[in-house]
Amino acid sequence: MEFPDLGKHCSEPTCKQLDFLPITCDACKKDFCKDHFSYVGHRCPFAFTKDVQVPVCPLCNVPIPVKKGEIADVVVGEHMDRDCASHPGRNRNKVFTYRCSKEGCRKEEMLQLPCAQCHGNFCIQHRHPLDHSCQAGSGSASRGRASASRAPDQKPRGIGWLAQQLRRTVK
């Protein structure tokens, strides 16, 4: 024993190993060996003061600040209810944005499916002119006859469709 005062014994009661390069715990200020220096390794009673974790919102992946004394789960839940940009009930980037023009149908599609005759936008189920009771007729010949037989004081048949489109944009 040439250097009796060199190194320190591990503060873990089950270890007491002499360590020449001990590590001091920054929470409890005791010295530990390489096996017991972590908070878990020596069951540090003051670890909660140093072990600060920032929770992340599972929907928008934004870190949520939590003040001392607050429960992280409660704060994240409040964020998801009030401030979360990716809240499922408040999704601003809707995928299904094209609503069916058929009366009584409330389906929405990702892509526009316009009718070539009446120019209305329809869902997959009502995309065929016979399925949505197309007002413009079933073909180009009948469309020409319909416009020729129409009295000059009659309104064009596409006005109903235009009114529906205007109502949708107002909502």
Could you list the pLDDT tens digit for every one of the 171 residues in the chain? 566 678 888 999 888 888 888 999 998 999 999 899 888 888 988 887 776 778 998 888 889 988 877 888 899 989 888 888 776 655 555 666 888 988 889 888 888 889 988 888 999 898 888 888 887 654 433 334 344 444 444 444 556 666 777 777 765
Amino acid, single-letter form, for residue 154 = Q
Q: Which runs of consecutive H residues, i.e. helices, occur in the chain? A: 47-50, 72-82, 140-149, 159-170
CA distance linking residue 46 with residue 22, whole number of Å: 19
Q: Which CATH number fits domain 7-51: 4.10.1110.10, 2.40.50.140, 2.60.40.10, 3.40.640.10?
A: 4.10.1110.10
Q: Bridge partners of 31?
A: 24
DSSP assigned state of 24 = E
Residues carrying CATH 4.10.1110.10, the chain: 7-51
Q: Is the pTM of this model over 0.75?
A: no
Phi/psi zone of residue 43: left (φ > 0), alpha (ψ -120 to 50 degrees), beta?
Answer: left
For 89, the token pair is: 């009930």
Q: Is 109 helix (H, G, I), strand (E, B) or coil?
A: strand
98-170 architecture in CATH? Irregular (4.10)
